[in-house]
Chain A
Amino acid sequence: MTDFTLASSDALVILIVFGVAWILWGWYLGRNNRTLDDYALAGRNVGFALATATAMATWITSNTTLVAPQLTYQFGVWGMLGYSMAALGLILFAPLAAKIKQLLPNGFTSGDFIYQRYGKAAWMAFIVISLCYALGWLVSLGMAGGLLLSSLSELGYVTGMSAILVICVIYTLLGGLKAVIATDFVQSIVIISGVVFIAWVCIDEVGFSTIHTNLSASQPELLNLLFPAAIMFFFNNVFFGIGEIFHSNVWWSRAFAFAPSVGKRSYLTAGLLWLPIPIVTGFIALAAGSLQLSPPSADMVGPMVAAALLGKIGAVFIFIVVFSALASSMDSLLAATSDLLTQDIVKRVLIPDASPNRLLKVNRLVIVGLGLLTWCVAALKLATLGALLNFTGAFVASTIWPIVYGIYQPKLTGGFAAGAMIAGTVAGLIGYFMIGFYVAAIISCALSLLICQIGIRHSQTFFTWHSLKE
């Protein structure tokens, strides 16, 4: 136990106040939801400011607030820069968002696109990949809640994990995507102000010179630009970030929800605004050695440094910032994954003639089910956050080329798209276990590209875009 650790009672009070505030707001925002479009896609008319804020806040997650410091602590300068390159996912999704809205004006999910573009085999591979990724991300967010509370307070890991899950499930359940987007707006303001303040205190209290001197003596590889594992990690993270965004229904559902002409501008702006944030959050991890801190788990380094700098009041502050970041991602993921399961599994496969009201009820049940499943897996605490997230990199990076070619290359067929996703995922997982988590995404993406290219060169078919319109 350290001198900045919050007492259990203080931590519980913050949790309750924070949780009740989000839940009441979710209920208030969702009270006028009448149709599935209102609930799942916020009426398909979200404006530029809210659209930009929700895209940015959703992308500021446990990854940014906990994993960016972890990767900086492990890979130094390359870790920090490499992590910020995940912004490329948002930036490059901007032209796709416009295209998606144009091609599928009444679409609901990323699964809709894959099914109609490539057929059933590719759709099945895509759904499995999407669900593995969504569960991995949800579990990492639940774990992050537990780690956050256990590193800053006397409360245990399971309490923290349960709290974040219960709060997010309830307000997503009550408010739907409208509540998710509105809370994201407030959360993004809290997060940005918070991380900038912490970085400023870090520079002020510790200083660049002390940090540099300490790193040079104690952790020299963190300043080494020829650090091999970190060099491997750089483009791996680029493709991991791109894969996450290009395939995930979190981003597709927003592309459908944003008003026409808003998607492209808002994704581009959100990406550019997000770019410096991992550098700011990652930077504070470099001060760990100067503060004589060595975290028991690498993913706890960010909150530990921040709390050591700011003391007990700071621990409360960090708690609110990181909890906002976690909540802003978890609610989005719960909403988007429940849409994917409702539309792609329940409506397409299980109950094709279900009425919109019945689908709305199913959607809510799925949110609760996802919350429970996440709790069960996160309770096992199988890996560090960084390792868990990059495990999903093997899955998502395999979808990049099938999605890009699905939109821009009419010759790729469903069989090769499915083969590219399956083979890419398997190769990425082999790389993950044989070499390390920092090569999974890049290997997966490379093999997927190779198979797509073979498919395009051998293809005799030519897909016509108008057939995608529903």
Chain B
Amino acid sequence: MQSDNLYLTHNVFILLVGMFVSAPALDAAEQPPVYASNDGVKTISWQPDYETFNQLLILNTNGSVQASYPVISGQGWVVSGLSDGRYTLQLTKQNQERVIGTLEVEHYSLKSAVTLFGMGALMFAYLLYTLFTPRSTLPKHD
């Protein structure tokens, strides 16, 4: 009995370990990757199995086409100019479709961007002041 239980436990353990090990691989095979971007730009690398498709569609949250680009063998894509949102990257060919990833765009906060811009503007104004202010107090070179 005990040996039977041990045998069962052993099998269950192997099964669980097998599931644990194979789960990420199965997920990776079935779930397209999720990309993130803080500036609305994303580079999508070329994969050999994209060759059979003829168009890349960027679908927005409503499922409508935001942008479309041709598939050129051996070349990936750089998509840019996307606003905040979740986009689906989908390859198409007549009746065939394949989702190759999801892109989540969340731009940097405007507050931090404007703070940096203000700091730059102040520093630039000070540089102009330093370069163009006459310096009567400094000793003149001969």
Q: Which A residues lie at the B interface, using CB under 8 A?
A: 1-2, 73-76, 92, 95-96, 102-103, 215, 217-222, 224, 226-232, 234-236, 238-239, 242, 289, 292-298, 301, 400, 404-405, 408-410, 436, 439, 442, 445-446, 449, 462, 464-466, 468-469
Contacts and interface: CB of A to CB of B under 8 A. Distances in A.
Interface residues of B, number: 51
Contacts of B11: none
B139 A232 contact: no
Given A228-B112, A232-B112, A449-B126, 15 more contacts: A75-B39, A95-B131, A218-B58, A218-B67, A228-B110, A229-B113, A232-B116, A235-B116, A296-B75, A296-B78, A298-B41, A298-B78, A408-B130, A408-B138, A436-B39
Given A231-B117, A465-B141, A92 B135 contact: no
Given A228-B110, A231-B114, A465-B139, A292 B69 contact: yes
A229 B77 contact: no
A464 B109 CA distance: 47
A330 B139 CA distance: 40
Nearest to A466: B142
Interface of B: 38-41, 43, 46, 56, 58, 66-70, 72-83, 107-110, 112-114, 116-117, 119-121, 123-124, 126-128, 130-132, 135, 138-142
Given A73-B80, A95-B132, A442-B120, A292 B68 contact: yes
Contact of A232 (B58, B117, B138, B142): B117
Contacts, number: 147
B78 A297 contact: yes
A118 B11 CA distance: 75
Contact of A229 (B38, B76, B128): B38
A130 B46 CA distance: 37
A229 B139 contact: no
B56 to A, nearest CB: 7
7 contacts: A229-B107, A236-B116, A242-B127, A294-B79, A408-B138, A409-B130, A469-B141
Most chain-A Cβ atoms within 10 A of its Cβ — which of B58, B70, B141?
Answer: B141
Nearest to B40: A221
B81 to A, nearest CB: 3
Most chain-A Cβ atoms within 10 A of its Cβ — which of B78, B108, B135, B142?
Answer: B78
